[in-house]
Structure 1
Amino acid sequence: MLPDHKAGPVPGASGISTPQTIGFLLLDNFTLISLASVIEPLRMANQLAGRELYRWYTLTHDGAPVRASDGLQVTPDVSITVPLSLDWVVVCGGVAPQHSVTREHAHWLQAQSRQLRRLGAICTGSWALAKAGLLDHYEASIHWECLASMQEAFPNVTLTTRLFSIDRDRFTASGGTAPMDMMLNLIAHDHGHELSAGISEMFICERVRNEQDHQRVPLKHVLGTTQPKLLEIVALMESNLEEPIELDTLARYVNVSRRQLERLFQRYLHCSPSRYYLKLRLVRARQLLKQTSLSIIEVASVCGFVSTPHFSKCYREYFGVPPRGERSGSNVWYGRNASAATALQQGKIVAVEPASTEPMSSAMMSLVYAQGEPTFASVPLTR
């Protein structure tokens, strides 16, 4: 569910009968894995629903093929000069967005915003939205490699280390597979959790991450430096969560005094080493609570807490919720409960012909191919 404090108008939300149309703007050197992660859930949503819930087009500035960061060349459906009736626009970025975003891109994105279209970005595509002035005073996610440079370039954007952010009519995701998590959350909001769960089953995705999950940002990028002693100390901490090392011992391992150790953490991390060590253990505990079936007592033990009450107290103080509450609120799984035969009787593919000025949707073509799959129309829509 989208957070209430960010909720806004959602074109194509639950109950809409026509497909939502999405334009994917491909920048030079975009990352192919991020593009696949954002499109494949849409394809599978259509397949499992047995009808076209989403259609999409790939676009480039001039309609010419564009190369992904791995060297593969992708031929887009159309150029950005072709008029399309879009509900969403998603910018697909990758390597060096500072050099791949052009003035024409920015002007086109501004025009899309004026037409009240939802704007999104994946990997480093947030840079393009920010350059067009479309992320000012919005919360946004971007791949951790660009966090520092983007914050400096666009101080009016509220950047976060979260895997993805949904803020009113803007949705942004970091790279890799994070766009899949974002899209599964959006699909669940539009068409119900059962469909989202069915898609994650098809992709062997054990857990759909939400907006509260963060990227694991390498420490040197958090610090903006490669201070060797501090990196060495933190590496020792991360390797010894079950049996925490005393601070005096840590200091001896890296040949600094206890006082120097304290100064390093205050200067670069703005906290005491003991506080930072506790944070590492609690973050690890949260991962275990959300992703494993370990009992709370076992989680406390493997994260270096000598008693469950002490663990619960520290956890509540840091995350604002007790471990038991964290466990009960995560990993909600919605299984499929209708046969494919029943679902097929409930809905048929209705080929929605595009306007004469629009090309045939590749979503419709893939949906036709999917009719022979045993999962076709296997999830009845409840919204």
Structure 2
Amino acid sequence: MTSNQAKDPAANTNRAGEPQTLGFLLLDNFTLISLASAIDPLRMANQLAGRELYRWYTLTQDGLPVRASDGLQVTPDASMHTPLSLEWVVVCGGVGPQHSVTREHIRWLQSQSRQLKRLGSVCTGSWALGQAGLLDHYETSVHWECLASMQEAFPNVILTPHLFSIDRDRFTASGGTAPLDMMLNLIAHDHGRELSAGISEMFIYERVRNEQDQQRVPLKHVLGTTQPKLLEIVALMEANIEEPIELDELASYVNVSRRQLERLFQRYLLCSPSRYYLKLRLVRARQLLKQTPLSIIEIASVCGFVSTPHFSKCYREYFGVPPRNERLGGLDRQGSNSNSPSSIKRWGGEPYKSEPLSSAQQALACAQGEPTFASVQLLN
């Protein structure tokens, strides 16, 4: 047995010359882009190799169609209980994995793990594997929006901010196009880098990212590399949400004065450092309100607020609703439930009347309950 086979029990299950078989388990509201990013590299691997290296099936709990987060409906190949000789199982998550994972999903995944199979996930599918106890003591990637809630729910899972993680017989990708990078790395491991590079060329994919690439680098893209001290300060803030660091102490960490620190934030982020820090803590609180059963008192504490009334006041001032209303289902400022598709209006403000709701309208209605809804301020 080779060292690679020892690390990966699934390496022994594939007979020479036969394709490796994958089952993609689609949860309700899974993200279509993550599924496509995971499957298309396999399709192209077969095409370039001129033979079937990989075979795959899409699965749902009962074999019935499932709706993706963009409102499109997908008809699976089979139910997850269909007898298939699967060597890899990949859970495809998306919006609200806490509500999409059932006991039947958990039992099935646990039965698959007992058969020494590779288990993986894309986007928030890691939540299902975590709930089944199949990621304990494994390095795991999940979409950044779900990191905080997974840390609270599954303390034995080693969560990373990386695009994807490959740890023994577990492979997890954060979402979006990250599954493409993960699959290209797995294909390179199984069949060589020449095939992986050929797939990248076919997809006009300039650089295959590796396990060390991070999910969230928007600030670095905005600022470039010209402000390393500012980037370092923001990283310190993000790493110290529960126990915020005083601004004077932050300034001393990077050898700048308090006044220089404030000028950096005003010039490049258009706000004071204290305001930026508060925003980070409130955004984290919103994620926890939406994704975990933690009480408002507990959330206030883990987000660095000394009292619940102070937390509620700051939250309402920033998001326009108190934390309690956010938790009850996203009541809008007039008190109506904005998550209902019937409440969607045209851009001009007139409600839809006789027209059926499109997939885009349904997706928007569901998204109104998400932590990131309306988080980007438009210029017009």
* TM score, norm. by length of structure 1: 0.59
User: CA 1:254–1:121 in structure 2 vs 1: closer, same or farther (change >3 Å)?
Assistant: closer
Give the structure 1 partner of residue 223 of structure 2.
Answer: none
For 2:37 and 2:196, the matched residues in 1 are separated by 14
For 2:64 and 2:126, the matched residues in 1 are separated by 22
Structure 1 consecutive aligned stretches of length 4 or more whose deviation exceeds 4 Å: 12-15, 217-225, 244-247, 252-255
For 2:175 and 2:59, the matched residues in 1 are separated by 19
Which amino acid is the alignment partner of residue 124 of structure 2?
T
1:250 aligns with 2:261: yes
Give the structure 2 partner of residue 140 of structure 1.
Answer: 140
SS of the aligned residue for 1:135 comes to: coil
User: CA 1:108–1:10 in structure 2 vs 1: closer, same or farther (change >3 Å)?
Assistant: closer
Give the structure 1 partner of residue 301 of structure 2.
Answer: none
Give the structure 1 partner of residue 155 of structure 2.
Answer: 155
Is the CA contact 1:165–1:211 (under 8 Å) kept in the aligned structure 2? yes
Which amino acid is the alignment partner of residue 250 of structure 1?
L
Give the structure 2 partner of residue 26 of structure 1.
Answer: 26
Is the CA contact 2:265–2:273 (under 8 Å) kept in the aligned structure 1? no
SS of the aligned residue for 2:121 comes to: strand
User: CA 1:147–1:222 in structure 2 vs 1: closer, same or farther (change >3 Å)?
Assistant: farther
Which residues in structure 2 correspond to 1:330-345 (within 5 Å)? none
For 1:247 and 1:166, the matched residues in 2 are separated by 42
User: CA 1:65–1:248 in structure 2 vs 1: closer, same or farther (change >3 Å)?
Assistant: same
Give the structure 1 partner of residue 110 of structure 2.
Answer: 110
Query: How many residue pairs were aligned?
Result: 249
**1:312-366 Cα shifts (integer Å, max 9, x gaps):** xxxxxxxxxxxxxxxxxxxxxxxxxxxxxxxxxxxxxxxxxxxxxxxxxxxxxxx
Give the structure 2 partner of residue 88 of structure 1.
Answer: 88
CA RMSD in angstroms, aligned pairs only: 3.5
Deviation at 1:252, TM superposition (A): 4.9
Give the structure 1 partner of residue 38 of structure 2.
Answer: 38
Give the structure 2 partner of residue 338 of structure 1.
Answer: none
For 1:89 and 1:250, the matched residues in 2 are separated by 49
SS of the aligned residue for 2:25 comes to: strand
Deviation at 1:68, TM superposition (A): 0.3
For 2:100 and 2:147, the matched residues in 1 are separated by 17
Give the structure 2 partner of residue 50 of structure 1.
Answer: 50
Is the CA contact 1:14–1:190 (under 8 Å) kept in the aligned structure 2? no
Deviation at 1:58, TM superposition (A): 0.2
Is the CA contact 1:139–1:158 (under 8 Å) kept in the aligned structure 2? yes
Runs of 5+ in structure 2 lacking a partner? 219-233, 267-271, 282-380
User: CA 1:14–1:55 in structure 2 vs 1: closer, same or farther (change >3 Å)?
Assistant: closer
User: CA 1:194–1:104 in structure 2 vs 1: closer, same or farther (change >3 Å)?
Assistant: same
Is the CA contact 1:92–1:125 (under 8 Å) kept in the aligned structure 2? yes
For 2:82 and 2:216, the matched residues in 1 are separated by 39
User: CA 1:66–1:249 in structure 2 vs 1: closer, same or farther (change >3 Å)?
Assistant: same
Deviation at 1:248, TM superposition (A): 3.0
Which residues in structure 2 correspond to 1:163-242 (within 5 Å)? 163-216=163-216, 224=241
Is the CA contact 2:26–2:92 (under 8 Å) kept in the aligned structure 1? yes
Give the structure 2 partner of residue 129 of structure 1.
Answer: 129
Deviation at 1:247, TM superposition (A): 5.5
SS of the aligned residue for 2:8 comes to: coil
Is the CA contact 1:122–1:172 (under 8 Å) kept in the aligned structure 2? yes
SS of the aligned residue for 1:110 comes to: helix
Deviation at 1:12, TM superposition (A): 6.5
Greater RCO, 1 or 2 (C-alpha within 8 Å, sep 6+)? 1
For 1:198 and 1:253, the matched residues in 2 are separated by 44
**1:36-80 Cα shifts (integer Å, max 9, x gaps):** 000000000000000000000000000000000000000000001
Give the structure 2 partner of residue 335 of structure 1.
Answer: none
**1:207-226 Cα shifts (integer Å, max 9, x gaps):** 0001111111676875558x
SS of the aligned residue for 1:130 comes to: helix
For 1:173 and 1:58, the matched residues in 2 are separated by 18
Is the CA contact 1:31–1:68 (under 8 Å) kept in the aligned structure 2? yes
Is the CA contact 1:13–1:190 (under 8 Å) kept in the aligned structure 2? no
Deviation at 1:9, TM superposition (A): 3.4
Task: Give the percent of matched residue pairs that are identical in Structure 1 and Structure 2.
Answer: 71
User: CA 1:53–1:222 in structure 2 vs 1: closer, same or farther (change >3 Å)?
Assistant: same
For 2:215 and 2:184, the matched residues in 1 are separated by 17
Which amino acid is the alignment partner of residue 248 of structure 1?
R
